[in-house]
Amino acid sequence: MTEQITYKDNKTDFITHGDITKVIMRLSIPLMISNLIKTFYGIVDGIYVAQLSAEDYAATAFIWPLQYLFIAFGLGISIAATSLMSQKLGAGKRNEAKIYANHAMVISILMGLVFSFLLYIIAPTALSWMGAKGTFLEKSTIFLQINAFGLLFDLIFFAYQSILNSQGMTKAITSISAISSLSNVILDPFFIFDSVLGIPALGMGLEGAAYATVLSKVLLVILGYIHVKAKSTIEVSLKGFSFDKNVVGELFSLSVPASLGSSGEAIGFTILNGFIQSYGTTTLAAFAMGNRISDIFNQAAMGIGMALTSIIGQNYGAGNKERTKEIFKRANVIITYFSIFAATVLIIFKDPLLSIFIKDRADIELWRQASEYIYYAATITFFMGYFSAINGFFQGLGQTKLTMFLSLARLWLLRLPIIMVLKTYTNLGSTGIWIAMLLSNGITVLFGFTMYLKKRQSMLS
């Protein structure tokens, strides 16, 4: 762990010395594309499932927070590994970066095995506690239990992704996501429906959608392994591996706050879904549709936030303190431009976008609620971008306790209490949910910027 080498590759030199705008865009654009591909897959997948029934469609959204609760811990390890590896690369310590990569991979595999088994076991009870009943509970349980098998592959891929992301190899992440998502889109109809273009298919319904997703995650791991082995300067070799308690301690000291923040969000979203479900399946479907549409336009800003972890990490590791501040400022300016465009498109093309999911406006109440939510989502897109940038900045510095606090406060101190107050003391109905989302995101971003202004001197001096 004490060996230091003078390793610097072209990518590292570019990140630590290149034009700031070009660095941000070159690393962010592939992530934007990757996120868009995943989002478009989610939309296509939703369109397939929506052909079965509104209840089937709502089930796919209902189980997500519970599934994400487990994914959050894998993401925590990934965030910690990305931060530490990027800082080591920025300081020219490639051998130390390799050690973190090996530990992240082993921890991810072990966690994936445990979490897959645990999620499968608790699925029926947890979903019932969330408020699912009758056939909706049955469908949600089956969908979640099948997806539980994919957790192992999620976590393994997160380890490969952290290795690539720490080096700024975002194009590789994009190509992997594109291939996996395309395979899922192709597999979905053959698993879901009885026939596709006259070709006999499996006709497994909602279960088929889940199996297709798991198979695409297996492909993610295979492609991640191939890219890291062929192109990465950080090698993964588990032969003769043994745990180093100092490395494990560093990884968990950063990953635990990040995981708690994400898992706390997941629990909050689980409870949030319970609140939304209490308004009826129509409101839950409107919420899911609005989110999937708005997510398309949030991905540019979100990609910048994701890229900031490695960009900030490498510059911080290289001792470029003033450059680190300028990178954060520039990132937020770019996010503002993207958000203005996104909000404008959402408002202007609201009806055509909703028509993708709601045929001929047949369900008037569903259309009304989804349409109203889109107006709120257009404003929320600004806050989502800024929130992503704040997270990326603090994660790059290794300040995951701050991101944990922001993530937990957004839901537990703001959104859920506001929803409960509005539900109890007003007649706003589902509108109260949208108002709570807007206020919680806006206040959290304001507080995040305040924390940045107060902390930047001590952290970057």
Start-end of H helices in 130-205: 134-148, 151-166, 170-192
pTM for the whole structure: 0.76
Tens digits of residue pLDDT in 270-280: 788 778 878 88
The whole-angstrom separation of Cα 251 and Cα 245 is: 10
The whole-angstrom separation of Cα 111 and Cα 80 is: 15
Q: What is the pLDDT of residue 154?
A: 92
Q: What is the pLDDT of residue 5?
A: 37
Q: Tell me the average pLDDT across 408-427.
A: 92
Q: What is the pLDDT of residue 360?
A: 60
25 by Cβ neighbours in 10 Å (0-12 / 13-18 / 19+) ranks as middle
pLDDT tier at 388 (50, 70, 90 boundaries)? very high
